[in-house]
Structure 1
Amino acid sequence: MSKELLDHALELLAPLGSLRSRRMFGGWGIYVEDLFIAIIAFDQLFLKADDVTLPRFEAAGCRRFEYEREGKMAGLRYFSPPEDAMESPALMRPWAQLALEAALRARQKPAARKPKPSSSTSRKY
């Protein structure tokens, strides 16, 4: 994994705010404040997407993050930015903003509810 790519990605994403990176799964995770917005894997930057932003990434021909798991290909909702976005923070800004917005929406989703105990374990008095 290229440290130069990480440094370059952090420079490109810097206009979003306070960044930090963390090693994970042989790559890097990138956060703005406490929001997970990007990963670097396979020598490529991938930005977070969701149902709202996915069409923009797909329309621009961005590549989805995929990896092999148990002999099959799996993917996450992270997409490479367009090639020209890797040239400057100004060109990256709209794509980085999409990733930040997806991360904000993900944070606002209600947490999964814990299952209620089954009636066979409940006691009535």
Structure 2
Amino acid sequence: MSTDKGFVNWCAELLAPLGAVRTRRMFGGHGFYVDDLFIALEMREVLYLKVDASTQPRFEAAGSHRFEYTTAQGEHGSLSYWSAPEEAMDAPSQLQPWGRLALEAALRAQAAKAPKARRAAAPRSAKPRRPASG
């Protein structure tokens, strides 16, 4: 389904106070990155923001709804993205607190996925050199 590029641009403008915004087409909609962190997606002209266990209750209280989808095989799924509250879509200053929650959730998710420090490799034992033939 095609998305109105004007809506995507408006969403990017709303998110701009949070940092450098980059968009990418995906899932039939668009993904939004702020400072290279994936924090939002747009589908059917609805902006969905990243949530986690600590931020989801605030989105629920604001009347937001979870991003849900149906696969080609008819299976239903959902992601940890909730719609931005309607009133927050009017101006960057109104979306900023919600965008900040999404950015913080993305940072926590990134920290949880961060690879653990590797152990230093054991020194390799030196093989004895063969005497030169001559």
> TM-score range, shorter-chain basis?
0.7 to 0.9
Q: Alignment identity in percent?
A: 53
Task: Give the whole-Å Cα distance in 2 for the aligned partners of 1:24 and 1:95.
Answer: 22
Task: Give the whole-Å Cα distance in 1 for the aligned partners of 2:106 and 2:85.
Answer: 19
Larger Rg: 2
RMSD: 1.4
- Indicate whether 1:101 and 2:104 are aligned: yes
* Alignment equivalent of 2:77, drawn from 57, 74, 77: 74
Aligned counterpart, 2:40: 38
Aligned counterpart, 2:59: 57
TM-score (norm 1): 0.85
Residue ranges of structure 1 left out of the alignment (5+ in a row): 114-125
Residue ranges of structure 2 left out of the alignment (5+ in a row): 117-134
Aligned residues: 113
Task: Give the whole-Å Cα distance in 2 for the aligned partners of 1:32 and 1:52.
Answer: 20
1:9-20 to 2 correspondence within 5 Å? 9-20=11-22
TM-score (norm 2): 0.80
> Which aligned segments of 4 or more residues in structure 1 are displaced greater than 3 angstroms?
110-113
Seen in structure 2, the aligned counterparts of structure 1 residues 62 and 6 have a Cα distance that, compared at 3 Å, is same
Measured after TM superposition, the shift of residue 43 of structure 1 is: 1.5
- Secondary structure of the residue aligned to 1:76 is strand
